[in-house]
Amino acid sequence: MGGVKVGLAIGGSSTTGAAGVEADVKTFAAFGVHSAVVITTIASQNTKGVQQVFPLPFQVVAQQIDSVFSDMKVEGVKVGLVGNERNARIIFEELKRRRVGNVVFDPVMSAQSDGSLLVDEETVEGMRRIAGISKAVTPNAFEAEKLTGVKVKSIRDAEKAAEILKSGGAEAVVVKGVRVGRMVFDVMLHYELLIAGRRVVPGGTHGGGCCFSSALAACLINGLGVEDSFEETEKFMDSLIGKRIRIGRGIKAVNPLHDVEDSERWKVIQNLKQAVEEIENCREFSSLIPEVGTNIVYAIPKAKGVGDVAGVVGRIRNAMGKPKSLGRVEFGASSHLARAVLKMMEFEPSRRAAVNVKLSEGVIKKIKRMGLVVSSYERGKQPSEVKRKEGMTIPWGVEFAVRKKGKIPDAVYHEGEFGKEPSLIIFGKDAVSVARIAVKLPKG
């Protein structure tokens, strides 16, 4: 995805470590986003309830905001508990003045653990102003009622409340936790209505609302559209809810970092999707696609097998003079190229991505002029025991090329043999970087 993306979490600090900005920081990290923080409120809280809430002076909140924006390029903001009307006002004024995009506002008003109200009516009015400059607003059913006056008891009620918030300036609204029988629904209104549902789970989800909104913000920061961000957030929440943890004697809590590998897989898929898009947008790349097709793959750190390497199902083909992926980006979609990356990672763990292209003299010259290290192998020299095993030729060839060069090559090629066309593989740290090298190669 290129470079460190910075998001800002504005909200309360919870002593549980599972809600508020603590949850936001973990969630941003799960999506590969660095989180700066602005504390509005200190909440003495545990899994049984809220014991005391102490809003910080608005001057302190304003100074924190200025400290962040005067130094960092903030690509999105999640706003949670504001604390009081003065803090709501300063947050609104600062974000509006700075014309911040990708603002996701979670209008926190009560604690799930005991239902205690954390804001007064003046603060609610200030929260409506923040909602009006937000990319997305994510109230639960109770908060939606407080903001709009619509009692949310059904999906239709949620849609009505969302329409009111959109009329106030919000681009998209997600009304969370709409209870209908044994099901609970999240209802999003953007250009169209999207609904996601799951069965009610006993035992609570402390921090769930915070994680939902910060996940949505992280997806927007990572360049996804609103609808795609909603869908990715729902998948993320399904995973969190299914793996809740007990950290105290009250309700269970969600843990955004419950599975670091899951977050790494998400980042790999998003990077790979961007890489495929860049290849598809380069019409001339079609002349670099070999007869067997092109694939581009990206492995998670410490990948152990083909299932840890994502690729394009069906590969990328030449479709009427334009490169076109035939299927989804998925783990386990590639076999041969995935094994090439796994073998390269044995020598250099950071070389986790690869793309194969048609070999030509011009391609080799261009790669060398780019300052990249090139090595090669001869398929005909592979030992008979390697040749007999399906899928072992390329890993053998990669190892041969590394040892032949005496250093880690950026590209490895072979000139083919009977029934096998020549091919070149470019290796790199991520899928986007190898795609950007590939699209610069000579065409035709």
CATH of the domain at 401: 3.40.225.10
Q: CB-based burial of residue 40 (10 Å sphere; 0-12 exposed, 13-18 middle, 19+ buried)? A: buried
Together in a domain, 240 and 363: no
Angle at 271 between CA 297 and CA 7, to 5 degrees: 160
Both 183 and 326 in one domain: the answer is no
* pLDDT-based confidence at residue 288 (cuts at 50, 70, 90): very high
pLDDT in tens, 304-360: 999 999 999 999 999 988 999 988 899 999 988 999 999 999 999 999 999 999 999
Strands (E), 208-301: 296-299
Residues 310, 196, single domain; the answer is no
φ and ψ of 157, to 5 deg:
-60, -40
Q: Is residue 444 domain-resident?
A: no
Range of the domain at 372: 267-438
Give the mean model confidence (pLDDT) for residues 127-136. Answer: 97
| 40 pLDDT above the threshold of 50 | yes
- Residue 229 near residue 219 (C-beta atoms within 8 A): yes
Length of the chain: 444
249 vs 259: which has the higher pLDDT? 249
Tell me, what's the pLDDT at 241? Answer: 83
Separation CA 19–CA 256 (nearest Å) = 10
**What is residue 221's predicted lDDT score, i.e. its pLDDT?**
94
Q: Are residues 157 and 55 in the same domain?
A: yes
Beta bridge partners, 396, equal none
The partner residues of 206 in beta bridges, in order of sequence, read 253
Instruction: Evaluate if residue 418 carries a pLDDT over 80.
Output: no
Percentage above 70 pLDDT, the chain: 95
Say how many C-beta atoms besides its own lie within 10 A of residue 68's C-beta. 18
Q: What is the pLDDT of residue 111?
A: 63
What pLDDT does residue 45 have?
A: 86
The pLDDT value recorded for residue 4 is 80
Q: Give the residue from 202, 233, 258 where a domain finishes.
A: 258
Instruction: Indicate if the pLDDT at residue 444 is higher than 60.
Output: no
Within-domain flag for 443: no
Domain boundary among 258, 289, 304: 258
Domain termination site, one of 258, 279, 296: 258
In tens, the pLDDT along 99-116 reads: 998 999 999 997 665 555
Mean residue pLDDT of the chain comes to 91
User: What is the model's pTM?
Assistant: 0.68
Report which secondary-structure segment, H or E, holds 118.
none
Residues 241 and 286 in one domain: no
Whether the pLDDT of residue 443 is over 80: the answer is no
- As separate numbers, helices (DSSP H) first and strands (DSSP E) second, the chain gives 14, 18
The answer on 276 and 223 residing in a single domain is no
Q: How far is CA 115 from CA 78, 136, 142, 289, 359, in A?
A: 22, 24, 10, 59, 65
Across residues 150-162, what is the average pLDDT?
Answer: 97
Same domain, 95 and 243: yes
> What was the pLDDT predicted at 385?
77
User: How many domains does the structure of the chain reveal?
Assistant: 2
Measured between alpha carbons, how far is 103 from 95 in angstroms, rounded to an integer? 9
**Whether residue 328 sits in one domain with residue 238:** no
